[in-house]
Chains A and B, each alone.
Chain A
Amino acid sequence: MALPVSCREAILGCVPGENDRAVTTITRVIGELCLPVGLVLLLFYAYLLWGTDAETEQEQRVLQRRLGEVFRSDGHDGRDGPGPVKLGDALALLRIPRFGAGYRFAVVEGVGPEELRKGPGHYPGTALPGQVGNFVLSGHRTTYAAPFNRLDELRRGDDIVVDTRDARYTYRVTGKEVVDPGDVDVVDPVPGHPGRRPTTAVMTMTTCHPEFSAAQRLVVHGVLVRREERRD
């Protein structure tokens, strides 16, 4: 035999009042809001995976076309070698044979978020390609076409080819390491020796480590081994 309603509620200890109804409504609305919030987060994740790649590929198409025009120009614009480049503008073309013939990225000036979404960036103030000192590049490990995703696969002796308008510079990998983000002496003119005057041309590539994190930095060092005049 069923108990009268009031008895059942008394046994369950929840006689519904105004307060309870308000709590129920608020709880339900919060619960219902979880669905769109979850969907927006999923969409944002999809954007990080695919949307950022598309953004960078679009930027790279423009940068590489402009770089090609600069390379083809006769170079009699009063500048000797690669001059100062504006933040966000391309200054060189980076190729790494180990990553395949299709691997080519226009390197932009600057390492802020706005520059790195276009491609690997050159630390302003560090050496330019081929110059004595440290030519320092930074790039995304994941997202934004992930130019430096496979940096960990580089081996000692691998070539890194940097094309500028006047010359092709070939660097050779000498080693790699994982450091804390605060270890900025890897970008010194002589890596790891702050204040020392450089006598050789080296390069340093930095990216995030481990993947999908920014807890540490993966660093690859190289040394200039060849300079060829570009005559194409």
Chain B
Amino acid sequence: MYRFLWRRLPGGTALRVALVLLLTGAVAAALWYVVFPWLAPRVPIG
């Protein structure tokens, strides 16, 4: 799966590494600032 996704990325190794970091960061930010604030109050802990 990862090999497949890696091959789908454009550019050389450097550009691909940059894209991976950028996309991972974007997903993490969306989770942290949008998904988790919505989800957290619904988790039944203290």
Contacts and interface: CB of A to CB of B under 8 A. Distances in A.
Question: At the interface, is chain B mostly helix, strand, loop or mixed?
Answer: helix
Contacts of B37: 51, 55
B46 A113 contact: no
Given A43-B32, A51-B32, A52-B40, A212 B1 contact: no
B1, B39, B41 — most chain A CB neighbours (10 Å):
B41
B45 A48 contact: yes
Contact of B46 (A29, A32, A43, A140): A140
11 contacts: A40-B31, A43-B31, A47-B32, A47-B36, A48-B45, A52-B40, A114-B41, A140-B46, A146-B46, A208-B45, A211-B46
Given A32-B1, A44-B39, A113-B41, A207 B32 contact: no
Given A47-B36, A51-B32, A28 B45 contact: no
B17 interface: no
A43 B28 contact: yes
Interface string A43-57: 110011001100100
Contacts of B46: 140-143, 146, 207-208, 211-214
Interface string A83-108: 00000000000000000000000000
Contacts of A52: 40
Contacts of B32: 43, 47, 51
Question: At the interface, is chain A mostly helix, strand, loop or mixed?
Answer: helix
Interface string B22-33: 000000100110
Contacts of A29: 1
Contacts of B41: 113-114, 116-117
A126 to B, nearest CB: 21
Contacts of B28: 43
Nearest to B5: A32
B14 interface: no
B8 interface: no
A44 B36 contact: yes
Contacts of B12: none
Nearest to B2: A32
B1 A213 contact: no
A28 B44 CA distance: 33
B7 interface: no
A51 B45 contact: no
Interface in A19-43: 28-29, 32-33, 40, 43
